[in-house]
Structure 1
Amino acid sequence: MRWYVIRRVAWAAVVAFVILTITFLFLEITPDQQVAQLQFQAAQSGGDPEAALDAYEQRRGLNQPLWDRYTEYVTNYVQGNWGWSDTRSEPVLDAIVASLPYSIMYSAPSIVISTVVGMGIGLYSALNQYTKTDYAATFVAFFGISIPNFWFGIMLLLIFGETLGWFPIIFQTSIADTQTFSLANLRQLFLPIVVLSTGAIAGNMRYARAEALEYVRAEFVKTARAKGATGWRMLSRHILRPTLVPLSTLLVGDLLGLLLASSLLVEVVFGIPGVGRLSYDAIINQDTDLVLGTVFIPVFISVVGNLLQDIAYTVLDPRISYGDR
Structure 2
Amino acid sequence: MALLNFILRRALSAIPTLLILSIFVFLLLKLLPGDPAIALAGEDPSPAAIESIRVKYGLDQPLPVQYVKWLGGVLQGDFGVSIRTKLPIGEMLAQRLPVTLQLSLQAMLIAIIIGVPAGILAAIRRGSYIDVTVTTLGLAGLSVPSFWFGIILIMIFAVTLGWLPSGGFVNFTVSPLENLRYTFLPSLVLGTAAAAIIMRHTRNSMLTVLKQDYVRTARAKGLNERIVIVRHALRNGLIPIVTTGTLHLGELLSGAVLTEQVFGIPGFGKMIVDGVFSRDYAVVQAVILASAAIFLLLSLIADILYVKLSPRLQA
TM-score computed with the length of structure 1 as normaliser: 0.86
User: What pairs up with 1:164-203 in 2 under 5 angstroms?
Assistant: 164-171=161-168, 173=169, 176-179=170-173, 182-203=176-197
SS at match of 1:90: coil
In angstroms, what is the RMSD of aligned CA positions?
A: 2.6
Contact 1:12 1:307 in 2 (8 A): no
Answering whether residue 128 of structure 2 is matched by residue 134 of structure 1, we say no
Question: Are residues 28 and 268 of structure 1, via their aligned partners in 2, closer, same or farther at CA, if it must alter by over 3 Å?
Answer: closer
Which of 211, 225, 228 pairs up with 2:222? 228
Question: Are residues 282 and 70 of structure 1, via their aligned partners in 2, closer, same or farther at CA, if it must alter by over 3 Å?
Answer: closer
Contact 2:103 2:186 in 1 (8 A): yes
Corresponding residue number in structure 2 for 1:256: 250
Contact 2:201 2:240 in 1 (8 A): no
Answering whether residue 270 of structure 2 is matched by residue 274 of structure 1, we say no
Q: Distance in 1 between matches of 2:41 and 2:87?
A: 24
Give the C-alpha shift of residue 69 in structure 1.
4.1
Counterpart amino acid of residue 223 in structure 2: A
Q: Distance in 2 between matches of 1:63 and 1:270?
A: 38
Corresponding residue number in structure 2 for 1:204: 198
Which of 281, 298, 302 pairs up with 2:295? 302
Answering whether residue 235 of structure 2 is matched by residue 241 of structure 1, we say yes
Structure 2, unaligned runs of 5 or more: none
Which of 157, 161, 180 pairs up with 1:160? 157
TM-score computed with the length of structure 2 as normaliser: 0.88
Structure 1, unaligned runs of 5 or more: none
Q: Distance in 1 between matches of 2:159 and 2:277?
A: 28
Q: Distance in 1 between matches of 2:42 and 2:112?
A: 52
SS at match of 2:208: helix
Question: Are residues 179 and 238 of structure 1, via their aligned partners in 2, closer, same or farther at CA, if it must alter by over 3 Å?
Answer: same
Corresponding residue number in structure 2 for 1:216: 210
Give the C-alpha shift of residue 208 in structure 1.
0.7
Q: Distance in 2 between matches of 1:87 and 1:39?
A: 10
Question: Are residues 29 and 144 of structure 1, via their aligned partners in 2, closer, same or farther at CA, if it must alter by over 3 Å?
Answer: closer
Give the C-alpha shift of residue 82 in structure 1.
0.9
Figure out how many residues of one structure are paired with residues of the other and give that number: 313
Deviations 1:122-141 (A, max 9, x none): 01221121233223322321
